[in-house]
Structure 1
Amino acid sequence: MKIALIGASGFIGTALLTEALSRGHHVTALVTRPERVAPQENLIIIKSDVLNTDALAEQLRGVDAVISAFSGHAQDDVYSYYIKGFNSILAATQQASVPQLLVVGGAATLEIAPGKRLLDTPEFPAEYRATAEGAQTALETLRAQTAQAWTFLSPAAEIFPGERSGNFRIGGDTLLTDSEGNSRISVQDYAIAMIDELENPRHTNQRFCVAY
């Protein structure tokens, strides 16, 4: 498949890039700093500005799917920057008539009890609140529209560099935990779940989650 990967040089984006290339997909990496992505076979690296919707749409034309690992972590106003970028990505994907949009989400929007999100707990770190609220708004935006087929994948509460085991569980809108109450996934296994969904869509127009 021909994939456009937005944010390919980030923590999760790098793992997604590695997984997609390992399966023989052709990837266009859209990044703000192309020098951070090493040239590889089946990889095109392009400098991109997600806030320029028309230019982004041109960069997306002809791909089979867009995977957005876009984040606003490095910005002063994380929430506003993320929402502007996400809305531009969604609009550009529609403008380019891309069949499928897959979005890297967060765990904070997952429920830990009926009607109660991880984000709602008093222990939720304040430094991640703007990012989490941005992901919540993005998910609500996707659910409210019908013009673009989409999938939103939330990781476990803890995502970390680890092993590519392929052994994990898939869930829906509820945070998955293990027998000891931990919610964990390696970024490598998160990438497997995302590319599996890309290749064999089972959660179109849905959010799903992954954890051990």
Structure 2
Amino acid sequence: MKIALIGATGYVGAKLLAEALNRGHHVTAIVQHPEKLPTHAKLTGGAAKVQDAAALVPLLKGHDAVISAFSGHAQSDVLGYFIDGFKAIVAASKAAAVARLLVVGGAGSLEVAPGVQLVDTPAFPEQWKASALGAREALNLLRGETALDWTMLSPSALLEPGERTASFRLGGDQLLADADGNSRISVEDYAVAMIDELETPKHSRARFTVGY
């Protein structure tokens, strides 16, 4: 499968890139600094700023799917930067006539009680709030999208480096937690779940989550 991966050198994107390549997919990694990419026979680098939809279109054309691991964590205006970029990705994906768009979401928009999302609870960390609100707005934009076959995968509350076990649970709009009340998933297993969805779609035009 031919995949265009946006944000392939980031925290989540790098693991998605490794998982996709290990499974034999051809990846075009779209980043601002292609020189940071590893060397691989099935990897092609493409340089573009995410907010420039016109520049993205030719890089996305001809691919079976786009995976967006774009985030605005390093920006001063995290929310504004992310939403502008996300809208450009959606517009470029449609203009390039790519069949599917898979998006790295956040845990903040998952429900912890009926009608109560994690980001709206008092305990939600302030440092991640702008990112969580951006991901929630992106989800709302996707839910109003009729032209794209989209999927968003939200992680558990704690997304951290760990092992690739390929053993986890999937859920819908509710936050997953283990028997001890911990909500977590390794970045490696998050990548497994995303590429599983790429290869065998089960959540067309829907958001789902993954956790232990």
Give the shorter-chain TM-score range.
over 0.9
1:12 aligns to what? 12
Calculate the TM-score normalised by the size of structure 1. Answer: 0.99
Moved beyond 3 Å, runs of 4+: none
CA distance in 2, matches of 1:74, 1:187: 19
Report the equivalent of 2:174. 174
Unaligned runs of 5+ in 1: none
CA distance in 2, matches of 1:186, 1:90: 27
Residues of 1 paired with 2:15 and 2:207: CA distance? 20
- SS state of the match for residue 11, structure 1? coil
Q: Do the aligned partners of 1:165 and 1:189 also contact (CA within 8 Å) in 2?
A: yes
Q: Which residue of 1 aligns with 2:110?
A: 110
Contact 1:39 1:45 in 2 (8 A): no
Deviation per residue, 1:159-181 (Å, 9 max, x gap): 11111101000000000000000
CA distance in 1, matches of 2:193, 2:41: 23
The question of whether the paired residues in 2 share the 8 Å contact of 1:72 and 1:81 is answered with: yes
Which amino acid is the alignment partner of residue 169 of structure 1? R
Whether 1:22 and 2:22 are equivalent positions in the alignment is yes
Greater shift in the superposed pair: 30-39 or 158-167: 30-39
Report the TM-score when normalising by structure 2: 0.99
Q: Percent identity?
A: 58
Match of 1:53 in 2: 53
Q: How far did residue 59 of structure 1 move? A: 0.6
**Matched pairs, number:** 212
Following superposition, the deviation at residue 24 of structure 1 comes to: 0.3
Given residue 65 of structure 2, which amino acid in structure 1 is its aligned partner? A
Offset, 1:86: 0.1
Indicate whether 1:72 and 2:50 are aligned. no
- 2: CA distance, partners of 1:180 / 1:36: 39
**2:20 match: secondary structure:** helix
> What CA deviation, in whole Å up to 9, does each residue of 1:84-111 have, x standing for no partner?
0000000000000000000000101100
What's the RMSD between the two structures over aligned residues? 0.6
